[in-house]
Amino acid sequence: MKISDIKIYKVKPRWIFIKILTDEGITGWGEMISGTKTETVVAGAEEMGKKIIGRNPFEIERIWQELHRSFFRGGPINGTIISGIEMALWDIKGKALNVPVYELLGGAVRDKIRVYSWIGGDRPSDVAKQARERVDNGFTAIKMNATSELHYVDSYKKVQAVVDRVASIRDEVGDDLEIGIDFHGRVHRPMAKVLAKALEPYHPMFLEEVVLPENWDSFDDIAREVSIPLATGERLYTRWAFKNLFRQGAVDIVQPDVAMCGGILETRKIAAEAESFDMACAPHAPYGPVSLAATLQVDACTPNVFIQEQSLGIHYNQGFDLLDFVKNKEIFQYKDSYVQLPKKPGLGIEMDEDMIKDVAQQGLVWSNPSWKNYDGTIAEW
């Protein structure tokens, strides 16, 4: 079997699908992240894709090594391109061997996968009402953004507003609902310590990206302040970028993104390394259907995954949602906050290519929000 062609589709709201074709008619789907550089990612994928035409799609690790080790390596652009190609190759291999991908990575270690749901939006609001809705729909865990803009040192009124929102959830649904609180890298070290301490009485499931990953040395300070598990990893690429976190020992939960960190096997390697440090894994997956399907394959065979992000109905999905592009919609059917293990070969997902082609004709222009502080300085989004 040889790789014969590659097709790339840009689709709303913010997804880039890659389809790899073979001379034996078996195809595989992958997904790349657009971020604010959609055309750059597409151009890079086309350039890198030419290098693997005619190659054996079963040689996933060999191809990955050649694409990654190209002198200049790492970063979000290369990371997401390699990830998209890699998951498509796994899709092909699983289909060719007629097994789900996780069967090729050691087999299932669990019977089902726990998932959580997003509430609140970019600037969190109506969280108590939305938490009640999620509970009524069977979810036992949610995640919300903690705050909007915060300066390096900001008003305690903003901290109190975060506390009041979380308290409103506890007042509405009690302690049975697990709450992940995402600082989203918006909070700088001086305020991160204050905010984390103020949230401790409400027993969050975890605090995510309490500071930006490049400020990883601050995790130690915050971990000493609070007993809440700390999580990070969505902006890190390949296992090498996680080394400082493992050595430091302050973070409790790693969150590699299968569509960014290098793909399915790289995510599995990162999770395995975390397991050796007695750390949990909760993969990042707020994007489209292919990346979520690929992530579920990792979850199925990874013992230290305890919960999975999923993006049905997330605030970014304006106009189209995951199920719009999927034929076998049952793959993302949630019951009592769990999803069943994928059963179909490969990634287990059947994409609606006619729908993808139709939406791709509309074009894709996605840009992350641009925020500013009260004094005009740039605020982290």
Q: What is the C-alpha end-to-end distance of the chain, expressed in Å?
A: 45
Nearest to 360 by CA among 328, 324, 330: 324
Q: Are 274 and 281 spatial neighbours (Cβ–Cβ below 8 Å)?
A: yes
Token look-up 């399915």 returns 264
Q: What are the structure tokens assigned to 64, written together?
A: 């990955």
Active site residue 68: no
Active-site annotation holder among 68, 151, 184, 315: 184
203 annotated active-site: no
Set 68, 188, 203, 284: catalytic member: 284
Q: Which residue, among 30, 83, 115, 121, has the nearest Cα to 317 in the 3D structure?
A: 121
Cα–Cα distance, 244 to 35 (Å, whole number): 25
344 C-beta neighbours (distance < 10 Å), count: 16
CA–CA distance, 311 with 317 (Å, rounded to integer) = 8
Catalogue the E-assigned strands of the chain.
3-11, 15-22, 27-33, 112-119, 141-145, 178-182, 206-208, 230-232, 253-254, 280-281, 308-309, 334-335, 338-340, 371-372, 378-379
Which are the catalytic amino acids?
184, 284
